[in-house]
Chain A
Amino acid sequence: DSGVTQTPKHLITATGQRVTLRCSPRSGDLSVYWYQQSLDQGLQFLIQYYNGEERAKGNILERFSAQQFPDLHSELNLSSLELGDSALYFCASSVEGNTDTQYFGPGTRLTVL
């Protein structure tokens, strides 16, 4: 158990809908990262937050957005969902934004029908 928690574990929804994925980092970690893992693309970095501020953006679609709250938990919002958005979404955390060891949560499996 890495200490990173994610909810929900599974999510099934329809195309066009909007969902919110939640992540709580390990105690003391200020930095949160979101990744998408699909069968054909592997693990792809989406976005990073550090102490409430966006620090880096990866291959995140405009339909997706994220934020980190004062208590350091983070939410990833996915809207206008498409079939291709079906994937495992991981959150990871690290102590600061400048450390390389990221600890991953158990992931949320999103299925878009």
Chain B
Amino acid sequence: EDKVVQSPLSLVVHEGDTVTLNCSYEVTNFRSLLWYKQEKKAPTFLFMLTSSGIEKKSGRLSSILDKKELSSILNITATQTGDSAIYLCAGVPVQGGSEKLVFGKGTKLTVNP
């Protein structure tokens, strides 16, 4: 059964800190890994990673995939209170034409002023 595990489950930091969120996956015929940010409601897309070792970057957020270790990390530098959210990692297995996402339970990040 496809599985995605995120750690830690929750994290409390102060503004300005740098955080690293972890995601490991066991996904049939792995195609890609996605990161989402969920604040109050709908998850919003952050990154899609398909190739090992290539960093994706957007402002203070960056992410990288390690296919050998079946894992990914999401880094956030100089955290701000607006980064407080649940960060979700999802694996995409290749199963015919289906692109279902297999989500981890998320990491709840709280950034205190």
Contacts of A45 in B (CB 8 A): 100-103
Known A2-B44, A105-B42, A106-B42: A42·B98 in contact at CB below 8 Å: no
CB of A90 within 8 A of CB of B98, answer no
Question: Is B97 in contact with chain A by the CB < 8 A criterion?
Answer: yes
Contacts of B67 in A (CB 8 A): none
Contacts of A104 in B (CB 8 A): 36, 42-44
Contacts of A43 in B (CB 8 A): 43, 88, 90, 101, 103
Contact of B32 among A31, A42, A100, A105 (CB under 8 A): A100
Contacts of A50 in B (CB 8 A): 97
Contacts of A33 in B (CB 8 A): 99-101
Known A42-B106, A56-B95: A103·B45 in contact at CB below 8 Å: yes
CB of B99 within 8 A of CB of A102, answer yes
Number of interface residues of A (CB under 8 A): 28
Main secondary structure of the interface of B (DSSP, over half): strand
Q: Which of A43, A48, A103 has the most CB of B within 10 A?
A: A43
CB of B106 within 8 A of CB of A94, answer no
CB of A55 within 8 A of CB of B98, answer yes
A113 CA to B42 CA, complexed, in Å: 24
Question: Is B14 in contact with chain A by the CB < 8 A criterion?
Answer: no
Contacts of B44 in A (CB 8 A): 2, 104
Contacts of A88 in B (CB 8 A): 41
A105 CA to B42 CA, complexed, in Å: 6
Known A43-B88, A100-B34: A94·B103 in contact at CB below 8 Å: no
23 CB contacts below 8 A, A to B, read A2-B44, A31-B99, A33-B99, A33-B100, A35-B101, A42-B106, A48-B100, A55-B97, A56-B95, A56-B96, A56-B97, A56-B99, A58-B100, A90-B42, A90-B43, A99-B99, A100-B32, A100-B92, A102-B101, A104-B42, A105-B42, A106-B42, A107-B41
Interface residues of B (CB under 8 A from A): 31-32, 34, 36, 41-45, 48, 88, 90, 92, 95-106
A-B interface, 9 closest residue pairs, ranked by CB to CB distance from nearest = A56-B98, A43-B103, A104-B42, A42-B105, A45-B100, A97-B97, A100-B32, A106-B41, A104-B43
